Amino acid sequence: MKRKEFLKLFGGAILASPVFLSSCRGEGNVPTDNDGCPLSPQETKGPFPIKSPGEVVKANITSDRVGVPLLINLTVQNDSDNCKPLADVLVDVWHCDSEGNYSEYGGGGMQPTDYQNVHFLRGRQTTDAKGNVSFISIYPGWYQGRAPHVHVEVLDANAKSLVITQIALPENTTSEVYRSTHYEKHGQPDTSNQKDDIFRDTLERNMGTVTGSLTDGFVLTKAIIVKP
């Protein structure tokens, strides 16, 4: 995907700024060895999973949400085959908006704001021959008790779940983003990566790589390792 095509996909839905795009496809940074590579940690799917993923098959998941542009590049790799790319599997992605709210939920409990009847920051794509998928989004916000994160589920062609995991984000980048427009009112997260119960024992394997800037937008790259 070329830069002008990426900008066109945004369609003015998020901050009007040039978007950093050194590559549109993630190659993955997890080393391999004779015994395969570390599987992505299996994490909880809730409390705000996609209710109907088949209805959100799209690359641009931004919808009407505003925030710092984020391109999510994921590579799915097969632990059972020397970490080779895994083609033709489904990848679901979802995360909260800049104020910590999820679509498809709300109206009480953990999320007072009611977004039950809207759909944003949720999407599904199928991996290409190199195991890659990309989603156009915004940098996630945070909510009480959790460090900022992105949810990912990988499923085979028969919709059998291969892994449900979560991606942690580097705190120096998060701190910078949360001082910017659309985030500063909500403030800094109340939970660090190290103190997050989900990431506490597996943070190294949960951590994504983020490059870019506030001016140009950011790119999140992560290899998702599964055992089909």
Confidence (pTM): 0.86
- Options 3.90.1150.10, 2.70.70.10, 2.60.130.10, 1.20.140.10; CATH for 3-29+38-226 is 2.60.130.10
Whether 196 has a pLDDT exceeding 60, the answer reads yes
**Given this model, what pLDDT does residue 12 score?**
41
Question: pLDDT class for 112, splitting at 50, 70, 90?
Answer: very high
CA distance 131 to 77: 7
pLDDT digits 0-9 by tens, 82-97 = 999 999 999 999 999 9
**Given this model, what pLDDT does residue 37 score?**
87
Whether 185 has a pLDDT exceeding 50, the answer reads yes
**Given this model, what pLDDT does residue 35 score?**
53
Asked if the bond preceding 47 is cis, omega within 30° of 0, the reply is: yes
- By three-state DSSP, how is residue 106 classified? coil
**Given this model, what pLDDT does residue 54 score?**
86
Residues 6+ apart with CB under 8 A from 125: 57, 58, 59, 90, 91, 93, 133, 134, 135
**Given this model, what pLDDT does residue 46 score?**
87
Question: pLDDT class for 123, splitting at 50, 70, 90?
Answer: very high
**Given this model, what pLDDT does residue 5 score?**
47
Instruction: Indicate the average pLDDT of the chain.
Output: 87
Tokens 């119960």, residue?
197
Whether 221 has a pLDDT exceeding 80, the answer reads yes
- Residue 120's Cα: distance from chain center in Å? 13
pLDDT digits 0-9 by tens, 1-53 = 334 444 444 444 334 333 333 333 333 333 333 356 899 999 999 899 999 98
**Given this model, what pLDDT does residue 19 score?**
38
Average pLDDT over every residue of 116-120: 95
- Name residue 88's amino acid: D
- Name residue 67's amino acid: G
Whether 160 has a pLDDT exceeding 80, the answer reads yes
Average pLDDT over every residue of 174-203: 96
Residue of 68, 51, 50, 70 whose CA lies nearest to 60: 70
**Given this model, what pLDDT does residue 36 score?**
61
Q: What is the bridge-based pairing of β-strands 217-226 and 209-213? A: antiparallel
